[in-house]
Amino acid sequence: MYKILEAKNLAGNIYEMIVEAPRVAARCMPGQFVIAKLDETAERIPLTITDYDREKGTIEIVFQPIGVSTTKYLDCKAGDSFEDFVGPLGRPSDLCEMSVEELKKLHIIFIAGGVGTAPVYPQAKWLHENGISCDVIIGAKTKDLVILEDKMSEVANVYVTTDDGSYGRSGMVTKCLEDLIAEGHSYDHCVAIGPMIMMKFCCLTTKKYGIKTIVSMNPIMVDGTGMCGACRLMVGDEVKFACVDGPEFDGHLVDFDLAMKRQTLYRTKEGEALLAYKEGKTHHGGCGECGGDR
């Protein structure tokens, strides 16, 4: 069992947990993820590692309750446990495989959209620990949905932008990037993590400026081991699986339209299961919309 040491709301519908998992903490690197399973009846959920403490043996995860299993996480409190907490899985960030000398030659910017801020943080922190500076754009719909700004500001130069202009700069993350470039900032390496549509348009923007761009395809992972095939995607002319070949890939080679189309295949079933869970014994499927009558 893997004890939950802390469980709290970060912002809006975004939550954080700190889990006791010494073996995972001892070996994990930025960019990797874990598979969490609450109990024997629960689904296996892939969650990116937000932070880790090797001395304390802890892993920090951030999640949004979307399906049944992540909704059940909302009932968890300090002292509860996960039955399984497996990792680290996936490949570490490419930045971790480069020498400090190589990294110092790069002008690096991270673009973090919504919950995508969580997997950006360990990479920015790792660079900071190795004496490498970087810029980070944190994007959110509104001020109330901005997460990890304080922690991020300790390890990077942070620019916050909100869609409605309620905090920081105003507009999408791509506008913020173009504004920074217009202000004289120069970048040759970008890591964009967030919703699929955000990463797609980040790549279209960075391609105009000749900025190498890495994206994380963790939003399409389901099983996390390559067995289910849900995270199959085309990278250039090659078939890849986000969970075992990634989750990070060259964003200028990813076929986002195909990946987003595949992502929609699972939404109906997830919605049906969530509705049945929320309605409990009152769920009968008579509406003909949720599939409960079939």
- Domain range spanning residue 153? 94-216
Identify whether 288 is part of a domain: no
Residue 208 inside a domain? The answer is yes
- pLDDT for the residue numbered 234: 87
Clarify whether residues 101 and 205 are in a common domain.
yes
Indicate if 100 and 80 belong to the same structural domain.
no
**Residue 272 located in a structural domain:** no
**Joined tokens for residue 128:** 């900071």
Residues 24 and 71 placed together within one structural domain of the fold: yes
Residue ending a domain, among 216, 248, 280, is 216
| Residue 26 counted as domain residue | yes
CATH number at residue 60: 2.40.30.10
Q: How far is residue 83 from each of residues 21, 87, 240, measured CA to CA in Å?
A: 11, 13, 30
Asked, for residue 79, whether it belongs to a domain, the answer is: yes
Same domain, 59 and 102: no
Q: Examine the domain organization and report whether 130 and 212 are in the same domain.
A: yes
Same domain, 27 and 55: yes
One domain for residues 51 and 104: no
Q: Specify the number of domains making up the chain.
A: 2
- Answer with the one of 63, 89, 115 that is the final residue of a domain: 89
Q: In this structure, are 98 and 212 located in the same domain?
A: yes
| pTM, to two decimals | 0.83
On whether residue 193 sits in a domain, the answer given is: yes
Assess whether 182 and 113 both reside in one domain: yes
Per-residue pLDDT of the chain (294 residues; tens, 9 = 90+): 899 999 999 988 899 999 999 999 999 999 999 999 988 888 888 888 999 999 999 999 998 888 777 888 888 999 999 999 988 998 999 999 899 999 999 999 999 998 899 999 999 999 999 999 999 999 999 999 999 999 999 999 999 999 999 998 999 999 999 999 999 999 999 999 999 899 999 999 999 999 999 998 887 777 666 677 777 888 998 888 887 887 889 899 988 888 888 767 665 555 445 445 454 554 444 444 444 444
Per DSSP, the three-state class of 246 is: coil
Residues 30 and 50 in one domain: yes
- Please classify residue 232 by burial: count the beta carbons closer than 10 Å to its beta carbon, then call 0-12 exposed, 13-18 middle and 19+ buried: middle
Instruction: Report the CATH number that the domain containing residue 186 is assigned in CATH.
Output: 3.40.50.80
Structural domain ending residue among the three candidates 199, 216, 233:
216
Which pLDDT belongs to residue 293? 45
Residue 234 maps to a domain? no
Is residue 130 in some structural domain? yes
Print burial letters for 130-165: b (CB count within 10 Å at least 16), e (below 16).
eebebbbbbbbeeeebbbbbebbeebbebbbbbeee
